[in-house]
Amino acid sequence: MIRPFATGEPPPPLALSYETVLCTELPAFDPVPTLRSVLLRPPHLKRFEYFLRKTGWLTMPIYGCGLILRVVVCSAPAPLGRLLAPLAAILHIPPCIVFGAGIRVEFVKLILSAFDFWFPFAANTMFMIVFSIVLRDVRVMLVVAVWVAFGCSFLQETYFRDSRNIAMSAFVEASLLVLLMGSISLNIMDDVYHTDLIVAGGHSLSTKDVLVNVIGTMVTLMIRTMYRRLRLMKRQKKMKGTAVQSLGYRCFIALNPIGPGVSANNSVVPHPLGPMLFFSSKSMLDRKKTKRSTTDVMDSRHLSSLVLPPLQIHLVKDSRRYDPRDTLWRRVGSLQPLTGWQAWTLHICAVTGFVLTVPSIFIPPSRGADAMGTLCLATTAIFVAVSICCCQRLIAAHLCLADIFSWRWAPTCGVAASYLWAQWTLTIDSLTPAMRCRLHVKSWTPTCCIVLFIVIQLLMLLDMMILDFSNIRDRVFWDLEFLGRRAQLRVVTFLWSRVVTIFIWYGRLFYILVTRVHENTLIILRGNVEFDYQKWRLQANIARETRRRAKCAISPLNSTIPE
Residue 454, pLDDT score: 78
Model confidence at 559, in pLDDT bands (50, 70, 90)?
low
- Partners of 314 in the beta sheet? 530
Q: Mean pLDDT score of the chain, rounded to an integer?
A: 74
Top pLDDT among 267 and 287 is at 267
pLDDT tens readout for residues 504-550:
777 888 888 888 877 778 877 777 777 777 777 787 788 778 877 77
Model confidence at 141, in pLDDT bands (50, 70, 90)?
very high
- Partners of 196 in the beta sheet? 206
Model confidence at 267, in pLDDT bands (50, 70, 90)?
low
SS3 58: helix
Instruction: Give the lowest-confidence range in 4-13, 119-128, 193-202, 249-258.
Output: 4-13
Tell me the range of 146-155, 283-292, 483-492, 494-503 where mean pLDDT is highest. Answer: 146-155
pLDDT tens readout for residues 431-457:
778 777 777 777 778 888 888 877 877
Dihedrals φ, ψ of 555, to 5°? Answer: -65, -45
Top pLDDT among 248 and 399 is at 248
Helical axes 42-55 vs 78-101, angle rounded to 10°: 120
Residue 314, pLDDT score: 82
How far is Cα 551 from Cα 342, in angstroms, rounded to an integer? 77
SS3 270: coil
What mean pLDDT do residues 396-411 have? 45
Note the helical H segments in 427-562. 433-439, 445-462, 491-515, 533-559
